[in-house]
Structure 1
Amino acid sequence: MPAIDKTIATPYATIRVRETAGYGLPLLMIHGAGASKEVFDKQINTALGEMYRVIAIDLPGHGESSNAVDPAGTYSFGGFAKVVSEVLDELSVNKVAVYGWSLGGHIGIELLATDPRVVGLMLTGAPPVNRGPIGLLRGFQMHRDMLLASKEHFSDEDIARFTRLCFRDSEPPAGFIENVRRTDGHARTGVFKATMKGLDSDQKRVVERSPVPIAMVDGEFEPVARLSYVGNLAYQNLWSGKVNVIGGAGHAPFWEKPDHFNVLLHRFMGDMAVCARPRSGCGSDNRRAS
């Protein structure tokens, strides 16, 4: 059965959602900057979407969603997380596993810190860092293309550079370039400013002390996160006991190497379905509700 698209009105923005008909544990997939829900087509349109209730959204200022009503209050990791929680409320989701890519991973960490419905979190291209510039320098690779994250307006050259950063030599998803061009530039600058000012959670602390399993899945040639940094965090609840590195992939292993990635995601979801059961022993939860 094909996935269904719907529109959800929130106080922050009008959000477009794609949802599969699976009856298993909900899996929320959060895209990166400049992308949209379609970037996860190689997961949604598989057996994963038949087994689990896969939910992918267009963040405010992205894809088919509207721009934020209040850009200053919405365009930050924490602001986006509030939008996501509102969507989960509207979809009557009680428990959820979360996959976050790049920007979506940082939003997932904020969601983990604030929303007790999260039973597990998988991250790609999203190094959990301490607040402020020093934390960013430790977790992120600093090079010319990273400056794109702070630009409000993209030229055609910027769009081409950004696409190569995300997908290396792979053909990007259909419509990706149009999605990058459509993205509200205030979303990029807002996230950048909020991050530099340390307005969101100490994400390193959140991930290292997570009461639920954290899965780290990155490409061998990841251009954004420092793999050495990600591999040396003091995880208390690291899924599979290691950071999973997918050979031959870059920033988007779920798109570049979907066969390898989907095997890991299936395993993760099977484990999270167990964790979602009462008294599963997957860890105590002392997070505050959002």
Structure 2
Amino acid sequence: MLNLPSVLPFHGCDLRYADSGGDGVPLVFTHGAGADHVMFQAQREHLRARGHRVVVWDLRGHGLSRPSAVPFTAGQALADLRALIEHLALDRPVLVGQSLGGNLGQALVRRHPGLARALVVIGATWNTAPLSRWDRLLLRSAAPLLAAIPARALPPLMAAASAVTPEARDDARRAFGGLSKKEFLQAWRATVALLAPEPGYRTPVPLCLIRGERDRTGNIASAMPRWAAAEGVEEVVVPDAGHIANQDNPEAVNEAIETFLAAIGARR
């Protein structure tokens, strides 16, 4: 259900969002490329019921944050996310991001270490990981391969690659279908632009890493375990879930996030 009642006009786009309000620890959820805020419905309800202040939003050019007068870029998406946090006067929120949303969360924390109290990454690769020759080849070839796919074939193809349950695939197909091929490719290129190898970098805030056991997107299945080992954290591997684990198996992801918040003392 698309329901974002609030608007933040910013750089040629009305960014749409919903804020549950309250005095609980704030969490800001950012969806992946081609998706929208609906993907976090289960997490939104679960965490709001437990006293947290939950903010969901649609990235520009996605969902209800349309149209955008400027192209989607990594820099603009980061500016949008920071503007939303400042607009709501959120005190060091927990950033929760899936896929591109997770890459944006990493980049924002790297640029502004004091802005967030913690980072939850669901199904996203490690921004600062060293890239092998094979990784670089995959990144260079992905955009041309996606560009070669007929526009009407892209939503069902991406949905099938992202989810394993029928319900999650249906919603992914709906969301992907809301973007033009050009808009989706812009979002994909923005994701790649956020990858900036720096092997010695370590996340300066508590970190929670979650991936679906059947996630075959990019190098996530191999990069996230290495990332977890480098950071000294335990990754959460969600059974019966693909790239959008939070929709394929929402109960397991809800439990993982709630356990993490309790561990870092992010209670109401």
Q: Is structure 2 residue 111 aligned with structure 1 residue 117?
A: no
Q: Is structure 2 residue 194 aligned with structure 1 residue 218?
A: no
Q: Is structure 2 residue 255 aligned with structure 1 residue 263?
A: yes
The corresponding residue for 1:168 is: 164
Within 5 Å, give how 1:141-180 maps onto structure 2: 150-151=146-147, 155-172=151-168, 176-180=172-176
Please, which of 212, 221, 224 is the counterpart of residue 227 of structure 1? Answer: 221
Structure 1 gap segments, 5+ residues each: 277-290
TM-score w.r.t. the length of structure 1 is 0.77
The corresponding residue for 2:77 is: 80
- Aligned AA for 1:127? T
Check the 8 A contact 2:35/2:175 in 1, yes or no. Answer: yes
Check the 8 A contact 2:92/2:116 in 1, yes or no. Answer: yes
Check the 8 A contact 1:26/1:54 in 2, yes or no. Answer: yes
Check the 8 A contact 1:97/1:272 in 2, yes or no. Answer: no
1:57 deviates by: 0.6
Identity %: 19
RMSD over aligned CA atoms reads: 3.3
Q: Is structure 2 residue 25 aligned with structure 1 residue 25?
A: yes
The corresponding residue for 1:97 is: 94
The corresponding residue for 1:279 is: none
Check the 8 A contact 1:131/1:195 in 2, yes or no. Answer: no
Partners of 1:237 and 1:229 in 2: CA distance: 12
Partners of 2:23 and 2:169 in 1: CA distance: 27
The corresponding residue for 2:56 is: 56
1:268 deviates by: 1.8
Give a deviation string over 1:137-177, Cα, whole Å, max 9, x none: 439988x9x65984398633221111111212331377543
1:94 deviates by: 2.1
Check the 8 A contact 2:26/2:94 in 1, yes or no. Answer: yes
Partners of 2:240 and 2:144 in 1: CA distance: 24
The corresponding residue for 1:287 is: none
Give a deviation string over 1:67-98, Cα, whole Å, max 9, x none: 33221xxx233321111101111111121101
Check the 8 A contact 2:228/2:235 in 1, yes or no. Answer: no
Partners of 1:100 and 1:36 in 2: CA distance: 12
Check the 8 A contact 1:43/1:49 in 2, yes or no. Answer: no
1:273 deviates by: 4.3
Partners of 2:172 and 2:44 in 1: CA distance: 17
Structure 2 gap segments, 5+ residues each: none
- Aligned AA for 1:25? V
1:86 match: secondary structure: helix
1:266 match: secondary structure: helix
The corresponding residue for 1:6 is: 6
1:203 deviates by: 5.8
- Aligned AA for 1:24? G
Partners of 2:264 and 2:183 in 1: CA distance: 31
The verdict on how the C-alpha distance between 1:48 and 1:70 changes in structure 2, with shifts beyond 3 A counting, is: same
The verdict on how the C-alpha distance between 1:177 and 1:247 changes in structure 2, with shifts beyond 3 A counting, is: closer
The verdict on how the C-alpha distance between 1:65 and 1:96 changes in structure 2, with shifts beyond 3 A counting, is: same
Partners of 2:206 and 2:111 in 1: CA distance: 16
